[in-house]
Amino acid sequence: MGIVLSIHSTLRWLIVIAAAAAAVKFAISWRRGDTFSKFDGILTSAFSGLIDLQVLVGFTYFFWNGLAAGTGFPSYRIEHMITMLVAAVVAHLSAFWKKSEDKLRFRNTLFIVLDTLIIIFFGIARLPAA
């Protein structure tokens, strides 16, 4: 079980790196009025894909640890899981702006990344200090 928790803990840093790269790139591109490129789409997909992978690993840990290890399902873990599911849904909202003009698309995707990070922060805050 330790390996699943280790993967879950390591993935968070990849998400932070992807979010930071996306936020900086989208903020600069929004300010400049750049065209939304294939790289921007890849960056958006990488961010939401990493969130999806994190949710999958988190679900695995949640159920495996709760059932197999016999620790049950404490309320803080349930709250963490629900909050992170909301973050995953929010991370995918940028798909609604695929056909928008580029400036709007950069702005909206930037705010999606930032909003997702805020929700993730609150989800992590639900966990007890280790």
C-alpha distance from residue 65 to each of 5, 69, 86, 128 (Å): 10, 5, 22, 16
CA-based max dimension of the chain: 54
State pTM to two decimals.
0.89
pLDDT tens by residue, 78-129: 999 999 999 999 999 988 888 889 899 999 999 999 999 999 999 999 888 7
Query: Could you tell me the pLDDT band of residue 130, with boundaries at 50, 70 and 90?
Result: low
Q: Closest Cα to residue 80, out of 119, 53, 51?
A: 119
Confidence (pLDDT) at 90: 97
pLDDT tens by residue, 3-40: 988 999 999 999 999 999 999 999 999 999 999 999 99
User: Which residues have a Cβ under 8 Å from the Cβ of 77 and sit 6 or more positions away?
Assistant: 62, 66, 127
